[in-house]
Chains A and B, each alone.
Chain A
Amino acid sequence: MALNKSQIEANKLLNSLGWSKPGDLTLSEIAFASNAFVEESIIEGSQGRIVMKGNEAIITVSSKIEFEPKKKFVLAH
């Protein structure tokens, strides 16, 4: 099955980080190692956001989310 552009880029990133199977790295580790800082904070108008400058970024996930898989879902997006 042919991969689309996003899947190819995602695979490139995972390869460059040494990821080979689920459980190797957490989403937070992937983000921090890619110069994205992850934090939880009170957000009112959304469940997560990303602010970027150059190759640095801050990813904020709403601290109101209690369900761990949902936090991961928001962070991954």
Chain B
Amino acid sequence: MEVNNTLKVLKKFYGLLMEMNYHKEPADFVEELEEENPFISMHLRNVILHRTKAKAILKKKKYLALKEQFIALKELGLDKLQELFAPKERIEMVKLFRKFEELTEKDIDSINDDQDFLIFISSLKDKLEDKDGAK
């Protein structure tokens, strides 16, 4: 009898844990609270909005700083940096560019630069993640 009660309590407890859903984003609560408590919903939305504005400012700042470093490194022509940009990917992209007849050589170079910059960012991210994982 006692065992049955314990099992029932555990079952209810797990059920409640499942309902809590720790991974739920704040934005999901806004809709839920819309009818139940418009006051809290409005303020929660304001918090999310300001978090977005802050994220946009930080991202822009980081991007500009990274771009500056990237241009400086490219000008130095560091071998390590050149190794990041696999020539195979370049060849694949040139095939795609041929489909766009209005693209000039300058446009293609500029798109390649953007692509190199994105590769540079993702390599940095991977390196940072590896470093964090090693800690």
Q: A residues within 8 Å of B by Cβ?
A: 15-20, 24-25, 28-33, 35, 37, 41-46, 49, 51-54, 56-58, 60
Report chain B residues within 8 Å CB of A32.
55-57, 59-60, 63
| A interface: dominant SS | mixed
5 pairs from A and B in contact (CB 8 Å cutoff):
A18-B27, A29-B52, A33-B52, A51-B111, A53-B119
B85-134: which have CB < 8 Å to A?
Answer: 100, 102-104, 106-107, 110-111, 114-115, 117-119, 121-122
Interface contact tally, CB-CB below 8 A: 89
Q: B residues within 8 Å of A by Cβ?
A: 25, 27, 30-31, 45-53, 55-57, 59-60, 63, 100, 102-104, 106-107, 110-111, 114-115, 117-119, 121-122
